[in-house]
Structure 1
Amino acid sequence: MKTRNALTWLACLFVLPSLTGCGETRHEIKAPQIIEVPVPAYQPLDARLTDLIPEPPPPAVHCLLAGAPAVCVLDGLATIEEWRGALRKANADRATAAKVTKQPGEP
C-alpha cells in the first residue's frame, strides 16, 4: 500500500510539470505601466501642537515640619492643580492633532 502511494506521488511529480509546458499559449510581454495609487497626505501640524508643554515649577518651601523646611499643604495642592492644567492642555493638543490628521471618510 505504501509503495503504491509513493509511486502515485512520484508519477504526479514528474507528469504534471511536463503537462504544463505543452500548450502554445504564450503571452506577449508588455512594457510596464505607471499606476497611480492614492497615498494619504497629512496636513502639517501647528508648532503649538508639537512644542513641549513646560513643567509647572515645584512648590516653594515656606513651612517647617519638625524644625526642617517643608512644602506647605496648600502649595502642594496648588502644584497638583498646575499639573492637571498641563495635562488638560496636552489632551486638548492631542484632540486637535487627531482632528487635523483625520482622513476623509473616517468617523
Structure 2
Amino acid sequence: MQWWVVWVVLVLALLVSLAAGLWYAFRRGLAALRLVSSLGDVIGNRFAETDEFDEPQPKPASFTVPLEQSIDKYSSAHAQVMRREARKHERHEAVWRRWSVFNE
C-alpha cells in the first residue's frame, strides 16, 4: 500500500466526520430555535394575560393619610374586635350554661 493512500483515507474520514458534525449541529440548532420560539410564545402569552388585568391600587399607608381617617379606621376596626370578643364570650357562656344543667 502506498503511503499517500493512507493520507487520502485519513483526509476523507476527516471530511466525512466534519460534515456529519456540521449536519448534527445544524439539526440541533434548528430544534433549539423551535424550542426557544415556542417558549417565547408561551412567555408572551403569559405577559399578555397579566396586562389584561388591572390591579387595584394599594391602600395608602396610614402615615400618608390625614390623621382623622387613620383614627376612624382604627376605631372601626377596634369596634369590630370588641363585637367579635363579645360574641365569643356569649357563646362560651351558653356552652357553660348547657353543661351546668346537663348532669342534673
Instruction: Report the TM-score, using the length of structure 2 for normalisation.
Output: 0.32
**Structure having the larger proportion of residues in strand:** 1
Instruction: Report the TM-score, using the length of structure 1 for normalisation.
Output: 0.31
Structure with larger Rg? 2
User: Higher relative contact order at CA 8 Å, sep ≥6: structure 1 or structure 2?
Assistant: 1
**Structure having the larger proportion of residues in helix:** 2
